[in-house]
Structure 1
Amino acid sequence: MQIERFLLFLLLFFSILLSPAAYTRPDHFFINCGSDTNAIVSGNPNRTFIGDLIYPDSLSFTKQKTKVIINSQISDVLYQTARIFKQQSFYEFDIDTAGIYLVRLHFFNSTDVSTAVFDVSSLSTAQFSLLKNFTILRRSTKDSNSPLIDEFLLNITQGKFSVYFTPQGSSFAFINALEVFLAPEKFIPDNASTPTNKNYSGILSHALQTIYRINVGGEKVTPDNDTLWRTWIPDDGFLSNPSMAKNSTSSSARPNYQGAFTEFIAPDHVYQTAIEKNNTDTSNVTWSFNVSKNSTHFVRVHFCNIVGSSMGSIIFNLYLNGIYRREINPYEMADTLDMPFFLDFVLDSDESGAMNISIGPSENSSEKNAFLNGVEIMEITGESSIVIRLDKSKKIVLLVVGPVVGSLLVCVLAVALFIVLKKRKRTSVKTSVWSLFSGHGGRSSDCKGTDGTINVFQVPNLNLGLRIPFAEIQSATNNFDEKLLIGKGGFGNVYRGKLKNRSKVAVKRGQPRPAIISGDPQLPMEQVNLAEWGLLCHRKGLLETIVDPSIKDQINPNSLRIFAETAEKCLLEDGANRPSMDTVLWDLEYALQLQQTAVYREPHEDSNIDATSGLRLVNVQHLPSLSLQIERDDVPILRDSTTEESFLSASKVFSQLRINHAR
């Protein structure tokens, strides 16, 4: 008996040791900006916002050219001070635990800050634009005595994390208070279902901005009554058909939390109230929300069966935007009537900017009822940039900052190649051969043609391994000042700028949505997506119609065709089917070679069957053989060799390119 008790004790002891640690609400970082005193904010538990002037070494911030404003007339001590930034400035935090963090920015309207216009961005291993052209007047709440709080959820790695404030033009930036604290483990998933039943992955690679947090069927939940100091507002203003709904309240003391469904997902108040269907009508209950147009949103819907008479008695349908129906069977999700559960989805908004959520009874239910307890809507945001650096020798260096979609990268590479076409000077040659990227000088090796002539090229030095913080890009372009605008395109504007090392750069800033242009009259829509229009012209054999008329006669159709094929592959829906970056670069270099070396044929001689039909090349079998070396930045570096076998081996790397049989 004693042995059994001892073994039981060991079992319990080791089960405690091996179980994951419970989430403890952190006590940092809570910043009282512009203050040398602390502010105690009531809650569960209370929070102490420490003055930024006395904060420990784990926080640093820009002090030069800043000032503090004090307004003792404001009743809330947290908003009596604010820090004013006259130039781009930042708060920097030492993050000791990687994970999902809640980042909250507190602003309070007063005459001192009403004219401020500025941007807010964050920087860890990724850069995100959090607020753009922010002004407190445009975003003020109905209650002028209430603060404005913008909340973001960011996946932050261990190390330095910064929040940048960048004034627009001659204006300034300000902040009253700032929160940065760790959320519970697995608080937000990296993937979720979409209306088409596909899996949306990579959620955590973006910034999520909280748009709505709704306590359905209940009163407002303030931060002092929420487990993570959140605010949940009533659903009254969002019900499209109030007569179809009725409020319900739980009789239980508190919800029966189990497993992953904890009080930190949503507080008791959310799960103890609900809206259920009014049984006197057959229509669904619908809530409508205004969101950003043509944007992607993370949606979490909360349920707790406080209206059913028994387990399994209610089965109902959940509708999202009228195009997605999911049957909800609480019996499959929860063990008891009062056990909370939630579901996550990723939804795209359309041009209307409206998002609808509905509930209605299922034909499989014995009780014709439905219920909903809470809704959270977060916009999936994030912004990336591409920098083109121009050095004194007119070589081109591309610096890719943050995640960049393939189509945008192809567009920028096109700009780079266009500059090369316009600016580079090439030695006179009799015939042409392939020039190859060099990893250390941006210049190809000298190659001999079959007739002994030497061909020398200046090839772009494409350094894709360099990264520049988004904040430095903002500083280099004076926050994308319109005075520095040097060009515009369908994918965004191009600005000139100067980095900290005094290098001059041209920065192309991608737009968050596809550009829209006027299309061909024969197209099914007068307004079409730029990329789709180009691909459609390519498939219809009208590719030449997209070329600028001023240079149309100078463009070799075979070169243009190869370029279009490359762009088409980069725009494939499945990322696994898109070509690798080195393959894209080689294909574009091939298109450039076709442009520079082609022997033009008459229009009736051209063919769409073979990309090399209009090009006469030397016998490439006599080219010097090559060997391949891959360096850390994954950019292929081709070096001269003396064996034909090494050339054959290297050629296998170019999955879509064959020297003697071009696509």
Structure 2
Amino acid sequence: MEVLGVIYVIFMSVFIGIGEAQIKPLLIDCGTNSSINVDGRRWVGDLSSDNNLTLSSPGMVASTATLSGDSIYGNLYKTARIFTEVSNYSFRVDPGKYFVRLHFFPFPFDNLNVNESSFDVTANNLKLVSKFSVTSEIFRKDSYLQRLGNNSTVSALVKEYFLSASSNELLIKFIPNDKSFAFVNAIEVIPVLKDLIMDSVNKVHGNGGNVSLNLSEQGIETMYRLNVGGLEIRPDQDQELWRKWESDARYMFTADASTMRSNSSNISYASANDSLIAPLLVYETARTMMDIQVMDTRFNMSWKFDIDPDFEYLVRLHFCELFYDKPNQRNFRIYINNHTAAENFDVFLRAGGKNKAYHQDYADEVSQQIDTLWIQLGPDTSAGALGTDALLNGLEIFKVSRNGNLASVSERFGSLGNTTSGKNSKRPVLWVAVGASIVLIAILSTLCTAIFCFRNRRRKSVPDKNQPAGMRPLFLHGTVESTTDAQASKFPANVNWSMATTRTGRRFTIAEIRTATKNFDESLVIGTGGFGKVYKGEIDDGTLVAIKRAHPQSEQGLVEFETEIQMLSKLRHRHLVSMIGYCEEKKEMILVYEYMENGTLRNHLFGSDLPPLSWKQRLDVCIGAARGLHYLHTGSDGGIIHRDVKTTNILLDENFVAKMADFGLSKTGPEFDRTHVSTAVKGSFGYLDPEYFRRQQLTDKSDVYSFGVVLFEVVCARSVINPTLPKDQINLAEWAIQWQRKGSLETIMDPQLKGNCSLESLKKYGEIAGKCLADEGKNRPTMGEVLWHLEYVLQLQEASTRGNDGDSFVRTEVRFTTMPSLPRIVEGENGSSMNISSVEESLVESKPEEGGSAARTGSEDALGIVDFSQLVNPQGR
């Protein structure tokens, strides 16, 4: 028996040793037969004899010695394996679950253009990507990125998948697309020995409740993994699974809505089975809401993510109560894409105490029309907690395969007849209709083309040298030699910015721009932004202009730049800044505007040595800006929504005429049968419409809200957010509306205005400003109604001034039950505009002896019935 016992012990030791050897991670350095130590781990070449894999085709090897940067993966990315035909990596594994990571670093390959690489990848028949372009994916910056060095702009792409192997083989197949090639720099296969993802999760909407998604049998892609409120966690700090946790800062809609918190004392897992869920470092930091006495409780902590439409997503939220030691002290709500995922969420109760690491999973299905995922945490005032704060420590977003496919919609639907979507394949009638429509369109197009060619058969086909080429991205921001125009035209469609279909104005040469700005002299800089710098310039016969130069590496600025040039090409109005021309030459993108001598409205309110504006001047400026916005909203079908109304975007010319500027965020209004435009939230914090923020539904009433903040900023002459002030004064809109509701706006008005401001005009001004800040857009006035009331406020002020100067005026009681009808502003044939009638032309005056009221016809007054005593000059203005 003792002998048998010894044999058993030896057998089990050997067996366990073999098992441990089999479950070790497989780390493959592609494009070499040698090994390398990186991040404390040994990476084996894909042609080494001890790498536990078989490579079906050697393909080609690429290498570089010039890779720069201090990433822990830097040396690993110096080689790559290139495939021009279908090739397999066959890994010998035990049945089970695995993390598979594919590393891509697009350095220049001999005789191959990395921009033209396009390929599919499958893993055990699960399609991971289709028609995949690494450079396009990096440029989109919506994936799991590895940054190389603090100052380097070179990016590597790591695609991470969670999948099951039911046999002893994991087959990863690279399939180059037609006349293209595939490449890969490194591969990780990490065994997962514990339950990391459970089949049963909370459904956000639809059937709701806890449902089984059978996740263990499906493929999953990691889209985002964030350490909320803390710094990046490197893979070597998460040593069991070697995951990278990004900082969440760049995904937050606004960091001003939260506070970063930390506490590293005695944190442990709520369940012993959760040790693989996330490292404890994730739970040591968090974000909480700003002091609710300061921040408007209608706003939430919000994170925005770009995603692939038409997939189910698993959202994992990590929590650890770091401060409260009793239940019901922090309750909040969780929203995922505007749906309530949880109410009355108490981390202390769910985790079982303070300093307990806990996670919660939610599943949400995204339609084909949605490419953005919003995660929001906000107060739950109905819960009765001591505080209505919210807290989050970490966040992960996983994409769940659909019909054996993880490829994005844009990849899957490369052509109309090549879709792999099971949902669409079940609609033959729809495809017949689509096919018939295509045939009909093709016939009509052919007929039109034939007529056009017949009429122009004697004309030569000469390219228009004055036609702008459109804006194209610089490959990897110039880290590799720029592509030629021919190469750039082959860039994937989702990488290019849309080109303006119609542009007006003069096309400047870069030489003319350099002359106008004295070769971009820094002393001529009059403004800066995300796009770059604005210079004061002089053209031709001494005409002063403002020259906006886009920074070539500013992605967001370039997109906004293209939007602005399209908008300004079709807008003409006295109260909108005019575009004189543009320059597209030598990779430059430059706009030339009329020069506004007196700069921004904000500079004349506070923060500069400029003399203060009088009350009448401020009213004139507000009226001018309102006219410009009213024209935007009504001057064309659907109108245009500015989306960034603020005092720095209201410019003043030499006569202090106000003009709206900066249309980079502007959006065309909704179609005639729609009430809003569904779009990602953009704007400036402090001016942002809370309804738009909550619902991501943009309307022209969002501009009205922002303009209401501007109105209070004008009368109070202070910034909209000032953290140095007492709690109740930090947010101007909240502070001012409280005083306005008390009827005491004069208490907080700019001291420079006291003594030259009619209290009656100030009262009416405060009323319209307050109505603009209604929580729901339907309760706010239109810009036309705002304009009408501001014109009336100006009349009150002028009448008061004339009265003080001894001018004759008559006090008349007037009651308006409706707003006056405001004619639309339309663009004339020569680019001129019809201005709306001034109020003095539309007001009906009633004489004192006649009494009664002046009736008004037109649109319904969103402000309700307005009673007031009007000071009227019998002679008019």
Match of 2:137 among 130, 134, 139: 139
Distance 1:373 1:406, change over 3 A: closer
Say if 2:355 is the partner of 1:342. Answer: no
Match of 2:160 among 120, 126, 151: 151
Distance 2:222 2:130 in 1: 15
Contact 1:116 / 1:174 at 8 angstroms: preserved in 2? no
Unaligned stretches of 5+ residues in structure 1 = 1-21, 386-402, 416-523, 526-663
**Cα distance, 1:411 vs. partner?**
5.7
Say if 2:96 is the partner of 1:114. Answer: no
**Cα distance, 1:382 vs. partner?**
4.4
Amino acid at match of 2:258: A
Distance 1:123 1:291, change over 3 A: closer
Match of 2:322 among 299, 306, 309: 306
**Cα distance, 1:114 vs. partner?**
1.5
Q: Which residue does 2:222 correspond to in 1? A: 210
Say if 2:314 is the partner of 1:320. Answer: no
**Cα distance, 1:58 vs. partner?**
2.9
Contact 1:100 / 1:188 at 8 angstroms: preserved in 2? no
Deviations 1:568-597 (A, max 9, x none): xxxxxxxxxxxxxxxxxxxxxxxxxxxxxx
Distance 1:316 1:248, change over 3 A: same
Distance 1:370 1:29 in 2: 41
Q: Which residue does 1:473 correspond to in 2? A: none
**Cα distance, 1:92 vs. partner?**
0.4
Deviations 1:330-384 (A, max 9, x none): 2332233111111111112242312111112332312222100111111112455
Deviations 1:596-620 (A, max 9, x none): xxxxxxxxxxxxxxxxxxxxxxxxx
Distance 1:175 1:312, change over 3 A: same
Distance 2:22 2:137 in 1: 30
* 3-state SS in 1 of match to 2:250: helix
Distance 1:289 1:404, change over 3 A: closer
- Listed as ranges, the matches of 1:617-636 within 5 Å are none
Q: Which residue does 2:524 correspond to in 1? A: none
Q: Which residue does 1:61 correspond to in 2? A: 55
Contact 1:200 / 1:346 at 8 angstroms: preserved in 2? no
**Cα distance, 1:256 vs. partner?**
0.9
Looking at secondary structure, tell me which structure has more strand per residue: 1
Distance 1:56 1:381, change over 3 A: same
Q: Which residue does 2:81 correspond to in 1? A: 83
Amino acid at match of 2:108: T
Say if 2:400 is the partner of 1:380. Answer: yes
Match of 2:278 among 266, 282, 285: 266
Match of 2:176 among 167, 170, 181: 167
Say if 2:248 is the partner of 1:232. Answer: no
Distance 1:95 1:27, change over 3 A: closer
Distance 1:132 1:285 in 2: 35
Aligned residues with identical type, % of pairs: 27
Distance 1:203 1:148 in 2: 25
Distance 1:293 1:148, change over 3 A: same
Deviations 1:111-149 (A, max 9, x none): 11624523343343xx21111222222123675434211
Q: Which residue does 1:611 correspond to in 2? A: none
Distance 1:226 1:384 in 2: 30
Contact 2:227 / 2:233 at 8 angstroms: preserved in 1? yes
Q: Which residue does 1:289 correspond to in 2? A: 305
Amino acid at match of 1:38: S
Deviations 1:310-343 (A, max 9, x none): 4442222212222124132223322331111111
Distance 1:326 1:249 in 2: 24
Q: Which residue does 2:231 correspond to in 1? A: 219
Distance 1:92 1:116, change over 3 A: farther
Contact 2:261 / 2:288 at 8 angstroms: preserved in 1? yes
Output the TM-score relative to the length of structure 1. 0.52
Distance 1:138 1:53 in 2: 29
Unaligned stretches of 5+ residues in structure 2 = 1-18, 69-73, 139-144, 406-419, 433-672, 675-877
Looking at secondary structure, tell me which structure has more helix per residue: 2
Contact 1:321 / 1:357 at 8 angstroms: preserved in 2? yes
Aligned residues: 370
Output the TM-score relative to the length of structure 2. 0.40
Match of 1:352 among 370, 378, 383: 370
Q: Which residue does 1:440 correspond to in 2? A: none
Distance 1:95 1:87, change over 3 A: same
* 3-state SS in 2 of match to 1:219: coil
Q: Which residue does 2:805 correspond to in 1? A: none
Amino acid at match of 1:373: N
Distance 2:121 2:196 in 1: 22
**Cα distance, 1:189 vs. partner?**
1.5
Task: Report the aligned-residue RMSD.
Answer: 3.0
Q: Which residue does 1:19 correspond to in 2? A: none
Amino acid at match of 1:32: D
Contact 2:122 / 2:174 at 8 angstroms: preserved in 1? no
Q: Which residue does 1:370 correspond to in 2? A: 390
Higher relative contact order (CA 8 A, sep 6+): 1
**Cα distance, 1:242 vs. partner?**
2.4
Q: Which residue does 1:538 correspond to in 2? A: none
Deviations 1:503-549 (A, max 9, x none): xxxxxxxxxxxxxxxxxxxxx99xxxxxxxxxxxxxxxxxxxxxxxx
